[in-house]
Each structure stands twice: as structure tokens, then as C-alpha cells.
Homo-oligomer: A and B are copies of this chain.
Amino acid sequence: MFPLPEPMRLALDAARRAGEEGEVPVGAVIVRHGQVVSVAANAPRRLHDPTAHAEIQAIRAAAEKLGRERLEECDLWVTLEPCAMCAGAIAHARIARLYYAASDPKGGAVEHGPRFFGQPTCHHRPEIYAGIGEAEGAALLRSFFAARR
């Protein structure tokens, strides 16, 4: 096994903590020029906010921290393939590179369903790298849902 890149390790840690609190375990990290800008996890139940996916939380925190609407030069690392909502937010934020771990045939919108970044109406397409940390990201989700059956 190769060691995971630090941002994906942080995203997986955030996902694990979210799972322990009863949220679907997904984590996200935003990095700019090699520095971590934000770390966030899925939190719709705790926050009573259906938009509080890990990616949205990380994007909002980073934009607030940097004091600007767009996150050019920022990379997003997330433990699961983004859904349509999050893919749309990634485009609006002008994220430069998207790294995601596990793919999500049920709700993913990058390589599944709407395949958002391939649509002619998509205004911004990040560079996309899938599969880094895939086994770890998928295992977290599997054990979370297995424990709830």
C-alpha cells in the first residue's frame, strides 16, 4: 500500500468522526498552495441543513476564511464522489482540482447520473482525480450502513 496523501487522510479522519456522531461518514478538505484551508464533514442531521454535505461545508468555510466568493487555486479532496448539488457548488467555486476516493453509483454526479462536469452547460470543470483512498472511503460507508441495518 502507498501512504495516502495528507489531505485525503484528513478527509477520511473527518468522515470517521462524522460517522461516530451518526452522520453518513463523508469528509472533505480544501487545500491552497499546499496549505489546508478547511476541513469539514457531512452534517445535515446535526445542523438541520439538507445542504450540509462535506463539500458544501468545506467550500463555505474556505470562502469565508479567504474572504472571497471564488476558490481559484484551491483543490478539494473528498472521500466520496460528489452529488449534483456538490458538483454544482464545485463549479460555482471554481475549484481547480477535485480528488475523490470512493465512487457513488447511487448518488454520484461526476461519473454517474447527470455526469455534471461533462454537460455543455457546466461553466467550470476542475481537473478530476478519482480513486485515491477509495478502499478506505468505501469501507467507512459500508460499516456505517451495516451497523444500522
Q: How many Å from the CB of A149 to the closest CB on chain B?
A: 19
A55-108 contacts to B (CB < 8 Å): 56, 59-60, 63-64, 66-71, 83-89, 91-94, 105-108
Q: Which residue among A69, A107, A112 has the maximum number of chain B CB atoms within 10 Å of its CB?
A: A69
State whether the Cβ of A51 lies closer than 8 Å to any Cβ in chain B. Answer: yes
| Stretch of A2-10, A12-20, A114-122, A137-145 with 4 or more beta carbons under 8 angstroms from chain B | A114-122
Q: Which residue among A94, A112, A114 has the maximum number of chain B CB atoms within 10 Å of its CB?
A: A114
Taking a contact as CB atoms under 8 Å apart, the answer to whether B49 and A84 are in contact is no
Contacts of A34 in B (CB 8 A): none
Taking a contact as CB atoms under 8 Å apart, the answer to whether A92 and B44 are in contact is yes
Contact with B along A120-134 (1 / 0, CB 8 A): 111100000000000
Contacts of A44 in B (CB 8 A): 69, 92
Q: How many Å from the CB of A130 to the closest CB on chain B?
A: 17
A84-B85, A86-B88 known; A113 and B108 CB under 8 Å? Answer: no
Which of A's residues lie within 8 Å of B, judged by CB?
A: 44-45, 48-51, 53, 56, 59-60, 63-64, 66-71, 83-89, 91-94, 105-109, 112-116, 119-123
